[in-house]
Amino acid sequence: MEIPAITFPILGEGFKLTFLPYFTIFGWRVYWYGVLIALGFLLAVLYCMKRTKDFGITQDDLVDMLICAVPLGVICARLYYVIFYRADDGTNPYFDGSHDLLDIVKIWEGGLAIYGGIIGGFIGAAISAKAKKIPFRVFADLGSMGFLIGQAVGRWGNFTNREAHGTDTTLPWRMGLVYSFKTFYFHPTFLYESLWNVLGFVILHFWSKKHRKFDGQVFLLYVAWYGLGRAWIEGLRTDSLYVGSTNLRVSQLIAILTCLLAAAIMLYVRVALHPEPEDLWVNRDRKAEMLAAEAEAQRRKEEEAEEEGQDEELSEAYRILTMKSGYKANTPENVPEGPAVEPVDYRESAEVEQELKREEAAEAARDTVPAELAEQIAGTVEAVIGETAEAAEAAGEETAEAAEAAIEGSGSEEDEKRDD
């Protein structure tokens, strides 16, 4: 089979590439397609390793996810191709008996579909996320940008194989396949998709650093961006996979549906949920600290309010006790005028009255305030009553002296009258 040379008229009439799609090492053929796929994968992994901290995971988390996602991605990429492949006569040689079933596993002979790889890769990421108790959306966000890198580089493998080109065109940037008998010019769809992925990666790289508001947002943007580009690029290709015997291109249909679905989800989240960057997985520790600080501030506020309430209760109790135990420290209203009235020991009377007031204060404290404040209130009231008792005692002594003097004076007047 003749391997055509490749030319791009826009680069000049004499520009022509005549390399083989493979090279040999110790007699083994190594295809450039596989080398470029591996290179794209390696660059994607290195980039994702660099960005793990930005998404709140460790490099070990990423490696564990890749161990699960990569095999599933390869398997699903192959199954997607095998299931939807259709020969020129409209049949699927993998299932009509013309091929050995073991041909299904011969991926080295070609036949991988990127959408199958994406689906398998994200299934593997979901399994790993559940096992590690990390939200799947976190892996999806980081993996999306890795996919863009891998796809941008891997598409050049189609270039080395002279495949995945578009329909005939006369555009200035057309790609020519030079056969011995004729040169055919096609849309370089591999280049379109590679450039589309590079542009998407650059946009998402810078956007994800400052504008992410919820986990899964980068993934949705990737799905919408890639679907939008793949929908029109797939329509130009001549080697599309179809749905059964219809003319519906599988990848084009999936691209349109996923693009619309991703756009709808992003619109719903933005309008209905109003996400904030604080809710991102990477900010979970900071959010926990903020919630703890808010809880501590609320606790202190409640304690201050409780203390203020206790002070108010104490003030009210003190006011009530003062009203119940208050009295005027002055001389008795009725002082005996004659000798018929026996002298009263006001000091003893004052002590009895103070004891009664202490009992009233203790009883009022028990009825008015909580038990834990009774002791504090009783101490305060006792101090006040003690000061009042001293004043009353002094007043009682003065009153007793005055009464004795009055009685003695009254007795002297009676003696004088008898003498007269």
| Mean pLDDT for the stretch of residues 172-189 | 95
| Mean pLDDT for the stretch of residues 84-111 | 82
Whose structure tokens read 């995945």? 164
Write down the pTM of the prediction: 0.70
374: nearest Cα among 365, 363, 382, 383? 365
- Residue 33 to residue 22: CA distance in whole angstroms: 8
The number of residues in the chain equals 420
pLDDT for position 87: 83
pLDDT for position 335: 47
Burial of 367 (0-12, 13-18, 19+ CB in 10 A): exposed
C-alpha 236, offset from chain centre: 42
The answer to whether 374 and 321 have CB atoms below 8 angstroms apart is: no
Residue 285 has pLDDT above 50, yes or no: yes
Residue 387 has pLDDT above 70, yes or no: no
| Mean pLDDT for the stretch of residues 155-181 | 94
pLDDT for position 144: 97
230: nearest Cα among 257, 262, 208? 257
Q: Residue 1 — pLDDT band, cuts 50, 70, 90?
A: confident
Burial of 273 (0-12, 13-18, 19+ CB in 10 A): exposed
Cα–Cα distances in angstroms (integers) from residue 286 to residues 232, 280, 289, in the given order = 43, 10, 5
pLDDT for position 405: 63
Q: Which residues of 42-77 are buried (b: 16+ CB within 10 A; e: fewer)?
A: eebbebbeebbeebbbeeebbebbbebbbebbbbbb
- Residue 184 to residue 162: CA distance in whole angstroms: 12
Least confident of 4-13, 63-72, 103-112, 174-183: 103-112
| Mean pLDDT for the stretch of residues 66-77 | 95
Residue 281 has pLDDT above 80, yes or no: yes
Q: Render pLDDT for 105-162 as a digit per residue (tens, 0 to 9).
A: 888 777 889 999 999 999 999 999 999 999 999 999 999 999 999 999 999 999 999 9
Dihedral, CA atoms, 298, 304, 309, 311, nearest 10 degrees? 170
The answer to whether 251 and 176 have CB atoms below 8 angstroms apart is: no
Share of the chain above pLDDT 70, in %: 75
Least confident of 11-25, 182-196, 281-295: 281-295
Residue 89 has pLDDT above 70, yes or no: yes
Sheet containing 183-186: which strands, arranged edge to edge? 5-7, 175-178, 183-186
- Residue 4 to residue 393: CA distance in whole angstroms: 127
pLDDT for position 231: 96
Contacts of 281 (CB under 8 A, 6+ apart): 55, 56, 57, 134, 135, 137, 138, 215
pLDDT for position 146: 97
Tell me the pLDDT of the chain averaged across its residues.
Answer: 83
Residue 323 has pLDDT above 80, yes or no: no
The answer to whether 69 and 125 have CB atoms below 8 angstroms apart is: yes
Q: Residue 337 — pLDDT band, cuts 50, 70, 90?
A: low
The residues facing 29 across adjacent strands are: 24
pLDDT for position 70: 96
Within a 13 Å sphere around the CA of 378, how many CA atoms are in the beta-carbon half? 15
| Mean pLDDT for the stretch of residues 304-333 | 65
Residue 418 has pLDDT above 80, yes or no: no
